[in-house]
Amino acid sequence: MECKAWSRHSAIGDNRTMTGFPKRDATDRSDVVGEKKDDAHTCNVALLGFGTVGSSVARILCERSNTHLRLTYVLNRNVARKKVDWLPSSVKWTENIDDVLESDVDIVVEVMGGLQPTEDWIRRTLSLGKSVVTANKQLMARCGPELINLACQMRQQIQFGASVAGGVPVISGLQEGLAGDDLFKIRGILNGTCNYILSQIEANAIPFATALREAQKLGFAEADPTEDIDGLDARAKLAILARVGLHCNVTPESVVARSISAIDSVDFEYASQLGCTIRQISWAELRTDLKATGKADHLFAAVQPALVELASPLARVEGSQNLVVATGRYGGETVFGGHGAGGNPTAVAVVSDILAIARSQQATTTTTTSNAGQPAETTPTVTADFTAKHYLRFLVKDRPGIIASLATILSERGINIDAVVQKPDCPKSHLPFLITLEECKASLVEQALQQINSLDFLVQPCLHLPIL
């Protein structure tokens, strides 16, 4: 049997509306969530997890009466404290996964997060011939291909549209909307927390630590923000996008992730002088060595703070928004943007996935998947060694000869300085200044910085950012 690895499909049959559901009277409320309806087309849904996303999914299912979806189970640990009065009494609350799996539920929605017991529960669900919708990026980045294969074997589906960029339909956009193109580059702002913090440093000229504290107070950053700040959250999402859009088998660990914590408000001043701003950019690009193999064999991939030109759509992303720019051989650039997180936007993506599965279940008696026409997945070498212009920001104890020492080390590696910029009236003991470099490989700059960072006039290690 063929598997459509990272894809969904839908079909429209006889006596269906354009969304694939039977035509019905607007006053017919017989399929309102949770109400009993013996209809061959009714699709029973169970929710695993009743937190931020889960409760929003339940509310949409409850309030939207124009679908044939019926919420039958809500599972959560210590479930008594989770119960709400706005769900129909027919919805069963449980702490026991067996209650869900032994029921006539068609689609299990996993919005608990974490790797375990989530992975085991999803495997059991698929093995029992039920489809799955998940918003879990860490799980899909690590186990996506195996879970999709299992779904294929069982002639079921696993959809994960909410796992990247929350409510922005980027996964379905890449899989379906741009399936006709040959995509080779995906760039994006995939972490709203980092984007919010960087936007605040830029707008209010505050230090990183202050911006982080305020983001935590407002609920835009976790108490432990490491996953976001150090780029681990975004690289899991980038690994998923590289699979979906570039057909590359990439593990999150193979993607270099660099923290935004060294960015200071002075960097935004310098960036603005260069016609740029600073954003955490997730970047994956296929490079084809046509002479050698004719195949794309290198994937340049990294998550890092970078300078982006003010004219770029990436520079205009404010606050906790997400944006993805996909570039194809035929269609050029396509931009997807919107709310990357939050209960309701993420729940919209989840419900859209549920509806997509429900549609395909109605279109065929058995849910089948096929990969006809999908490019084969490759496993390229992953590298973060981009060729780019570079931004080096120093903080030094001023003395004569500093620029000469730096220029010597850079020139020994064949690196050309483009410009030197110094803010006037800064204290001599903590003097920031900037050197920009002409295009060269990031690895060359890193080698030079190993030597530079041991020089005794540096107050702190040099901040190195690519200029994209």
Ligand X SMILES: NC(=O)c1ccc[n+]([C@@H]2O[C@H](COP(=O)([O-])OP(=O)(O)OC[C@H]3O[C@@H](n4cnc5c(N)ncnc54)[C@H](OP(=O)(O)O)[C@@H]3O)[C@@H](O)[C@H]2O)c1
Binding site for ligand X (CB under 6 A): 49-54, 76-78, 111-114, 117, 135-137, 162, 166, 341-342, 346
Structure tokens at 42: 């009714």
**Which residue in the shown chain puts its C-beta closest to ligand X?**
51
Structure tokens at 173: 């956009």
Give min distance, CB of 266 to ligand X, in A. 32
Active-site residue, selected from the candidate residues 217, 237, 295, 389: 237
417 phi-psi bin (left φ>0, alpha ψ -120 to 50, beta other):
beta
Structure tokens at 387: 């060729």
Give min distance, CB of 79 to ligand X, in A. 8
Is the CB of 112 or the CB of 148 nearer to ligand X? 112
Is the CB of 94 or the CB of 447 nearer to ligand X? 94
Residue 110 CB neighbours (<10 A): 26
**Which positions ≥6 away from 175 have C-beta within 8 Å?**
6, 7, 8, 244, 245
Give min distance, CB of 284 to ligand X, in A. 20
Is the CB of 196 or the CB of 270 nearer to ligand X? 196
Q: Tell me if 5 sits within 8 A of 148, measured CB to CB.
A: yes
- Distances from the Cα of 250 to the Cαs of 143, 230, 382, in angstroms? 11, 19, 8
Is the CB of 17 or the CB of 226 nearer to ligand X? 226
- Amino acid, single-letter form, for residue 404: A
Query: Pick from 45, 88, 30, 84: which is nearest to 356 by CA?
Result: 45
Strand partners, 134: 110
Give min distance, CB of 227 to ligand X, in A. 10
In 12-114, which residue ranges form alpha helices assigned H by DSSP? 52-63, 97-101
Q: Tell me if 166 sits within 8 A of 342, measured CB to CB.
A: yes
Give min distance, CB of 244 to ligand X, in A. 16
Give min distance, CB of 459 to ligand X, in A. 38
Structure tokens at 263: 């960015």
Task: Give how far the C-alpha of residue 392 lies from the chain's centroid of Cα atoms, to the nearest Å.
Answer: 28
Angle of helix 343-363 relative to helix 52-63, nearest 10 degrees, comes to 60
Is the CB of 109 or the CB of 271 nearer to ligand X? 109
Give min distance, CB of 215 to ligand X, in A. 14
Q: Phi and psi at residue 442, in whole multiples of 5°?
A: -60, -35
Residue 334 CB neighbours (<10 A): 17
Q: Tell me if 70 sits within 8 A of 37, measured CB to CB.
A: yes
Q: Phi and psi at residue 425, in whole multiples of 5°?
A: 60, 35
DSSP state of 91: S
Q: Tell me if 257 sits within 8 A of 232, measured CB to CB.
A: yes
Known active-site residue 92: no
Determine the longest span between alpha carbons in the chain, in angstroms. Answer: 85
Residue 375 CB neighbours (<10 A): 11
- Amino acid, single-letter form, for residue 111: V
Peptide bond preceding 117 in cis form (omega within 30 of 0): yes
Give min distance, CB of 280 to ligand X, in A. 16
Query: Pick from 268, 249, 24: which is nearest to 143 by CA?
Result: 249
Query: In terms of residues, how long is the chain?
Result: 468
Is the CB of 350 or the CB of 410 nearer to ligand X? 350
Give min distance, CB of 121 to ligand X, in A. 9
Please identify every residue annotated as catalytic: 237
